[in-house]
Amino acid sequence: MANERLRGAIADRNMTLEQVAEHLGVSAKTVERWITTGRIPYQRHRLSTAALLKREVSYLWPSDQVATEVTDASNAEVVRVYPYRAAVPQNLWPQLYAKATEKFDVLVYSGFWLTEDPAFLRVVKEKAADGVTVRFMLGEPGSPPVAQRGEDEGIGASMGAKIRNALVNYRALFRVPGVEFRLHSTTLYNSIYRADDELLINPHIYGVGAAKAPLMHLQRIPGGELTDAYLESIERVWEDARPISSPTDC
């Protein structure tokens, strides 16, 4: 059976079979066979093709064999699951961010507890000095999603106040080159803490504060799709968020 998804993805990228083949280091005839016969390529070629065409592996090759491999890879992305955030060792956050060489992201509503951690604040400055991109995304205090989250946690308007207090605690970081702050009006289903390809995911649960909700430690690996889904969501929030240059901009 022909692989029309692969054919369509190549066409969407305005590429020829020869161009795809050259990128992958195979012959154009090989790529043509993947399309016309539905032959499933080796995993390394599937991964490279998916990256080139900006599609998920499971979309281009939705077979049981591939689905099993992707599921296994995604399972392997899970480093550890904690029953609640308060059970996580406090030094995990600075240890995680200390490994960052390119990306250092904090996507939260307030994340107030981090603002009182001297080790975390020190790592922020060190990483920025090393040229790592540091991005803070906090909730817009007066936005409907923040108000709703406050209601969901049972703290009402205190959620907006927590965000403002967090920004005040971060005031010294506003003067650090390489550290950027933005306010978002997104409905968050998770708080996300990122250091390159490692993530700490803190799901939001109705009626429960984030400290009492579970936390997943993920690490991106070839073939996995779980981490990528969260990484993409970070970028979407960042693009729509409002830049600020001081704690008083909210």
Whether 22 is in a domain gets the answer: yes
Whether 137 is in a domain gets the answer: yes
Residues 84 and 40 reside in one and the same domain: no
- What's the total number of domains in the chain? 2
CATH code: domain of residue 53: 1.10.260.40
Q: How far apart are CA 93 and CA 49, in angstroms?
A: 34
Which amino acid makes up residue 223? G
The region, left, alpha or beta by phi > 0 then psi within -120 to 50, assigned to residue 54 is left
Which amino acid makes up residue 169? N
Residues 50 and 149 reside in one and the same domain: no
Q: Could you tell me whether strands 78-82 and 133-139 are parallel, antiparallel, or unpaired per DSSP bridges?
A: unpaired
Q: Could you tell me whether strands 103-107 and 133-139 are parallel, antiparallel, or unpaired per DSSP bridges?
A: parallel
Whether 34 is in a domain gets the answer: yes
CATH code: domain of residue 194: 3.30.870.10
Residues 99 and 178 reside in one and the same domain: yes
Say if CB 137 and CB 108 are below 8 A apart.
yes
Residues 112 and 49 reside in one and the same domain: no
Mean pLDDT of the chain: 90
| Confidence (pLDDT) at 229 | 85
Q: How far apart are CA 16 and CA 248, in angstroms?
A: 53
Residues 237 and 140 reside in one and the same domain: yes
Residues 152 and 48 reside in one and the same domain: no
Whether 67 is in a domain gets the answer: no
Whether 189 is in a domain gets the answer: yes
Strand segments, DSSP code E, in the chain are 78-82, 103-107, 133-139, 179-184, 190-195, 198-203, 215-219, 242-244
Residues 205 and 104 reside in one and the same domain: yes
Residues 83 and 36 reside in one and the same domain: no
90-145 residue pLDDT tens: 888 899 999 999 999 999 999 999 999 999 999 999 999 999 999 999 999 999 99
Domain of 218, in residue numbers:
78-249
Which strands sit side by side in the sheet containing 179-184, from one edge to the other?
78-82, 215-219, 198-203, 190-195, 103-107, 133-139, 179-184, 242-244
Compute CA 179 distance to the chain's CA centroid, rounded to the nearest angstrom: 18
Residues 84 and 203 reside in one and the same domain: yes
Whats the size of the chain, residue-wise?
Answer: 250
Q: Which residues pair with 208 in a beta bridge?
A: 205
Residues 125 and 190 reside in one and the same domain: yes
* Domain-ending residue, one of 12, 36, 62: 62
Where is mean pLDDT largest: 44-53, 188-197, 213-222? 188-197
230-250 residue pLDDT tens: 998 999 999 999 999 999 998
What is the pLDDT averaged over residues 189-217? 93
Whether 144 is in a domain gets the answer: yes
Q: Taking the complete model, does pTM exceed 0.75, yes or no?
A: no
Residues 110 and 208 reside in one and the same domain: yes
Say if CB 170 and CB 247 are below 8 A apart.
yes
Query: Which has the higher per-residue pLDDT, 42 or 10?
Result: 10
Whether 70 is in a domain gets the answer: no
Residues 30 and 105 reside in one and the same domain: no
